[in-house]
Amino acid sequence: MATLRLGDVAPNFQAETTQGPIDFYEWAGDSWVVFFSHPKDYTPVCTTELGAASRIYDEFTKRNAKIIALSVDSLESHKGWVPDINETQNTVVNYPIIADSDRKIADLYDMIHPNASDSFTVRSVFIIGPDHKVKLTITYPASTGRNFAEILRVLDSLQLTANYSVATPANWEHGQDVIITAAVKDEDADVKFPKGYTKIKPYLRVTPQPNL
């Protein structure tokens, strides 16, 4: 399958997970989804990542987002590894991990990059909207653990910009000022953004975050 691009519909699939069998679309419901792969069970970086995601599980829930992980290991392997994650990362893994021994889902989502490995998934991240469309993709090398605070930050930006005519500037974090998109004319901006805005340049107008 070709690489999934932003705006593409994320493929549906059925899978066995550590929380039982799922149909991806049914499991996702009307939530946002953070779907991430890890190269292999019982590896050190992956252990820290799955623990980190678990510790901020409630932050995803607050944002109407579900998290789900995948590797090409078996369900038995996942279930044996989870206690190690819980023990070493001082957490309880409370989201499903997909077993994908036949690599069908990994291939569907282009999670295996031959330049890195012919058999293991790279550290892919997909944020998928309630409309099942891909809103973000990030691919990390196997040697670099993910920054889950950044994934939360991007999720905040995606949810904000989906509902308001704004974009988020460099290094933006929830609660900070945002940028009014170029498609909004000044006379319309006065109505759309009652908190007001600052025109730094004709193309650069800054306003307080509108949903606060």
Encoded amino acid at 121, one letter: T
- CA dist., res. 103 & res. 118, Å (int): 11
Structure token pair of residue 205:
């107008």
Which one of the listed residues 34, 46, 65, 72 is annotated catalytic? 46
Structure token pair of residue 139:
């691919």
Structure token pair of residue 207:
């306003």
For residue 55, the surrounding DSSP H or E stretch is helix 44-55
Strands across the sheet containing 178-180: 166-167, 178-180, 204-207, 198-201
Encoded amino acid at 44, one letter: P
Concerning whether 46 is annotated as a catalytic residue, the answer is: yes
Annotated catalytic residues are 46
